[in-house]
Amino acid sequence: MTKKSVQDQSIAVSDEQIEKAAEVFRVMSAPMRLRIISCLCSGEKNVGELLSEINTTQPNMSQHLNTLYQAGVLDKRRDGVQIYYRIVNDNIVNICRAVCKQTDIES
């Protein structure tokens, strides 16, 4: 059995798919957003819970959460005065894990 090179594994993608992928990577390019996604891998959390795990200010956290929400990476629900966030698509988690694992392998 022979290994296929990366070049042999090309896939056909449309311009629209490429644009969507580029948007996801743009949104995911901020370390703070990767930290948020990492925290939300275990399930939904409210802003206070996220702030207890990530060292940042509430306004900064809210800005990053809103960016992730607007990009369709996160969903949110209100329960009284609390807003809970959760990851919408597990593929986002898989992408983050794959990239983090690969960078760990290369270092």
Adjacent-strand bridge partners of 86: 75
Under 8 Å CB-to-CB from 60, ≥6 apart: which residues? 32
Residue 79 has pLDDT above 60, yes or no: yes
- Where do the structural domains in the chain lie, given as residue ranges? 21-104
The CA-CA-CA angle for residues 86, 90, 96, to 5°, reads: 95
Q: What is the C-alpha separation between 51 and 37, in angstroms, rounded?
A: 13
Q: Tell me: pLDDT of 2 over 70.
A: no
19-28: pLDDT as tens digits: 988 888 898 8
Contact 34, 28 (CB under 8 A): yes
CATH 2.60.40.10 is held by the domain 21-104: no
Say what the pLDDT of residue 107 is. Answer: 58
